[in-house]
Amino acid sequence: MIAEILATGDEIRSGALVDSNSAYISQKIEEVGVEVSRHISVGDDLDILASTFKEISNRAQIAVVTGGLGPTSDDLSAQAAASAMGVELVLDEEALKSMEAFFIKRNLPMGVSNKKQAFLPVGSRIIHNPLGTAPGFYIKINKCSFFFLPGVPFEMKTMLKNTVLLKINELLGDNRQTCIVKTISTFGITESAAGERLAGLTDLFPDIKLGFRSKFPVIQIKLYLYGKDEEKLNTKMKAVEPYVLEKFGKKVFSVNDTSLEAVVGELLRSKGLTLAIAESCTGGLVSHLITNQPGSSDYFLFSGVTYSNKSKINLLGVSEKTLEKYGAVHEETAKEMAQGARRIAGASHGIATTGIAGPGGGTEDKPVGTICIGMATPDGVKGYTYNFPFPKRSMNKIIFAMKAIDLLRLELQKAL
Amino acid sequence: MIAEILATGDEIRSGALVDSNSAYISQKIEEVGVEVSRHISVGDDLDILASTFKEISNRAQIAVVTGGLGPTSDDLSAQAAASAMGVELVLDEEALKSMEAFFIKRNLPMGVSNKKQAFLPVGSRIIHNPLGTAPGFYIKINKCSFFFLPGVPFEMKTMLKNTVLLKINELLGDNRQTCIVKTISTFGITESAAGERLAGLTDLFPDIKLGFRSKFPVIQIKLYLYGKDEEKLNTKMKAVEPYVLEKFGKKVFSVNDTSLEAVVGELLRSKGLTLAIAESCTGGLVSHLITNQPGSSDYFLFSGVTYSNKSKINLLGVSEKTLEKYGAVHEETAKEMAQGARRIAGASHGIATTGIAGPGGGTEDKPVGTICIGMATPDGVKGYTYNFPFPKRSMNKIIFAMKAIDLLRLELQKAL
């Protein structure tokens, strides 16, 4: 069974908006065992939409269409589907009631233009939208089952999960498969190096489909297993996981989708520890990442972003001598910053960053990309120096901040 | 003239990677006056690629293809183009020399597999790649001019600008147009509200093509003018700009692509002022944004991220009485935090945030989305309270931080 994905809308066609829906839908559809062969985007044009639907219906058995379900005159998906099939639009009472309920629940008046959204092609069935006004629908055009969803990502995702994936499973019938996905998240390795380490995997485990997902600087290794017997798949996956973990060792920070910040947060919380941060070159990013975690106030106490030497001395208690002798970008300074933050906040752990994010400020000794990290713990203080080769300030800030958080993870895991 | 864009690669087709190249290329191509009618993505499959090229060549006059130019066996673009045309691949001496020069310049050995990249379809012309090893090429299939570029964004962008857009201009011949783009960046208005304010624009200025670009929470208004006489276009644009500016007033923070953080940075720098920040709910994001600006050490002195009441008292000198009387999330607390940060760092200006980003911590009085901002200046201190309706912690952190930075902009612009 082959699927295609169509993202509609002039804002996507013209490039005003990057279409991230299609990638999301592809992943989810491939996870239920259907191959996605093509993504298409076209604009808000009735004839083009109708002919694109026909074209897809001759190639694929499943199509997921996003966008064009809103109340305005630009929203043409239902009309184009009706036109492609040579049928009329009719008022769908179920869709109308569901929309009315949406507005009543929120104590809002329903606009006249909203009623348009309840007109669906004859023969279609509604896909409920619990989070917005635009109902979706599904219908067969030629031999292809079309699923029409709104373009708003969080509405689309909910409807895909609640309805579309279940319907696709029904369509698969005896070909239905379960997909087991294992996500192993790593820090400190490039995608190509990760690929090399796993070069032998599919020889040993020929059923495994291997994928990578990169969200700089994290590389996620995705292992997919398809089959009919979920228990057998789980057993097989359990055999593969140790192989992968052995290849990456301490670079693995989670064996699910948990972020590095969440892993560190959970380590701190479960051990009853607290964190203080002193940042120079990362400019607040370490604490921004740490506090992205809901409930981080349980363990995060304080961060001081000290750009100037003066603020390093006055606020963190870094000694003038250290700064004179070694300069601001040095392990010794980082160590004193970490100790200062830890002391000021009364935290169990302190981490500190000082380095050169660029574009300016690099020297031969300390080029752009140099980062010194200090780690103060109840057992003492340590310093680290690294050099990263990235050309952009924004990339350097991220890799510096994530490296500091990862060192803290390793520190906390040691004591496990 | 109609253009289509094709992004190739299994990582895009399967959803492992979001394709942002196609949106970028669309924008740039529409700016030279060519309409983009369709984006397509297909995987690394020789037959599918060749048939997709043929299909596009029957609909469009221009096609830009990204990806598939690398050295590995998955990289099939040149071979598929040759297959679509029924020609052979031949070693392109110019491409080979350019690649050899790339490796020599970087003192790296050229791999055997790289030589494959210099084999191009008979009849094609090289597109130089100054930033990578994969040369691009262009060739006519049927009546459509195909431009093949690498998928690596920064290589693609450079080659698009240096070669492809110039070639498209040549193809346009007498139909060649200049496009003038004006980007007006606003804070504090939704895209739909911005659209409503400009509903009358195209009646008054029928030549203007209006676009919006949203990067939460900033909305950019894009004005496009096409024509042959650049001087006339500039004169026209000058007439439109005041109309738009009048509609948005102080919500406009730049009339070019400059970010809010950069505008505030430039205001501080040009006035010889300095900034200290105290953050609670934004957790470091305000200072992360401020320090994303290269050279921000000229004006940014210090930020203290104080989550706990204790750190607000000990580090920023917020009075215990204020915290007892009003609580942590209150204008009075925000004001004392801003004053504290300003005093500690010896800065001319201090800003502070304290609020409830969620998901927990909300009350009836102070629901999730509540933000109090303090602004300490040489003239005294002010407090502000806002309530934002966003459902996600990450969105709240961003809108809180951007609101604080925008208030600082308005404060600094007052004194202009």
3-state secondary structure of A381: strand
Chain A's closest residue to B306, CA to CA, is A302
Rounded Cα distance between B218 and B176, Å, is 33
Report the pLDDT value the prediction gives residue A391, as an integer from 0 to 100.
77
Report the pLDDT value the prediction gives residue A393, as an integer from 0 to 100.
93
Quick one: pLDDT band at residue B384, thresholds 50, 70, 90? very high
Q: Residue range B161-185: average pLDDT? A: 91
pLDDT of A275 > 70? The answer is yes
Name the residue among A38, A283, A294 with its Cβ closest to that of B41. Answer: A38
Q: Do B283 and A304 touch (CB under 8 A)?
A: no
Q: A77: Cβ–Cβ under 8 A, 6 or more apart, which residues?
A: A8, A49, A65, A67, A68, A69, A148
Quick one: pLDDT band at residue B416, thresholds 50, 70, 90? low
Report the pLDDT value the prediction gives residue B21, as an integer from 0 to 100.
97
Report the pLDDT value the prediction gives residue A415, as an integer from 0 to 100.
66
Q: Residue range B191-217: average pLDDT? A: 86
Q: B270: Cβ–Cβ under 8 A, 6 or more apart, which residues?
A: none
How many residues are recorded in chain B? Answer: 416
Quick one: pLDDT band at residue A210, thresholds 50, 70, 90? confident
The pLDDT mean for chain B works out to 93
Rounded Cα distance between A309 and A327, Å, is 9
The pLDDT mean for chain A works out to 93
Quick one: pLDDT band at residue B415, thresholds 50, 70, 90? low
Name the residue among A311, A344, A360 with its Cβ closest to that of B345. Answer: A311
Name the residue among A14, A287, A344 with its Cβ closest to that of B284. Answer: A287
Percentage, residues of chain B above pLDDT 70: 100
The DSSP secondary-structure symbol of A328 reads S
Rounded Cα distance between B390 and B392, Å, is 6
Which tens digits make up the pLDDT trace of B5-50?
999 998 899 988 899 999 999 999 988 889 999 999 999 999 999 9
Q: Residue range B242-263: average pLDDT? A: 96
Rounded Cα distance between B218 and B154, Å, is 24
User: Which residue has 């005041």 as its token pair?
Assistant: B242
pLDDT of B389 > 70? The answer is yes
Q: Which domains does chain B have, with CATH numbers?
A: 2-175 (3.40.980.10), 178-254 (3.30.70.2860), 260-414 (3.90.950.20)
Rounded Cα distance between A95 and A57, Å, is 25
Report the pLDDT value the prediction gives residue B245, as an integer from 0 to 100.
97
Tokens of A267: 């380590």
Percentage, residues of chain A above pLDDT 70: 100
Does residue B306 sit at the A interface (CB-CB below 8 Å)?
A: yes
Least confident of A202-216, A256-270, B357-371: A202-216
Q: Residue range B356-372: average pLDDT? A: 93
Report the pLDDT value the prediction gives residue A258, as an integer from 0 to 100.
95
Higher-confidence position of B71 and A259: A259
Rounded Cα distance between B93 and A305, Å, is 54
Quick one: pLDDT band at residue A323, thresholds 50, 70, 90? very high
Least confident of A101-115, B184-198, B397-411: A101-115
Nearest to B278 by CA among B141, B395, B188, B383: B383
pLDDT of B102 > 90? The answer is no
Does residue B226 sit at the A interface (CB-CB below 8 Å)?
A: no
CB pairs under 8 A between A and B: 213
Q: Edge-to-edge strands of the sheet including B252-254?
A: B209-215, B218-227, B178-187, B252-254
Higher-confidence position of B133 and A329: A329
Report the pLDDT value the prediction gives residue B75, as an integer from 0 to 100.
87
Report the pLDDT value the prediction gives residue B256, as an integer from 0 to 100.
85
Does residue B117 sit at the A interface (CB-CB below 8 Å)?
A: no
Residues facing A215 on adjacent strands? A218
Are the CB atoms for A16 and A75 separated by under 8 Å?
no
Q: Residue range B106-129: average pLDDT? A: 88
Torsions phi, psi for A350 (to 5 deg)? -130, 135
Does residue B221 sit at the A interface (CB-CB below 8 Å)?
A: no
pLDDT of A206 > 90? The answer is yes
The DSSP secondary-structure symbol of A38 reads E
Residue type at position A200? G
Does residue A42 sit at the B interface (CB-CB below 8 Å)?
A: yes
Are the CB atoms for B310 and B320 separated by under 8 Å?
no
Report the pLDDT value the prediction gives residue B116, as an integer from 0 to 100.
86
| Chain A residues closer than 8 Å to B300 by CB | 283, 307
Q: Do B42 and A41 touch (CB under 8 A)?
A: no
Chain A's closest residue to B302, CA to CA, is A306
Tokens of B350: 């201090």
| Chain B residues closer than 8 Å to A308 by CB | 297, 301-302
Q: B114: Cβ–Cβ under 8 A, 6 or more apart, which residues?
A: B71, B99, B103, B133
Q: Do A285 and B288 touch (CB under 8 A)?
A: yes
Least confident of A228-237, A278-287, B139-148: A228-237
Percentage, residues of chain B above pLDDT 90: 75
Least confident of A132-146, B192-206, B270-284: B192-206
Name the residue among B28, B40, B279 with its Cβ closest to that of A39. Answer: B40
pLDDT of A416 > 80? The answer is no
Q: Residue range B120-124: average pLDDT? A: 96
How many residues are recorded in chain A? Answer: 416
Distance from CA of B205 to the nearest CA of A (A): 21
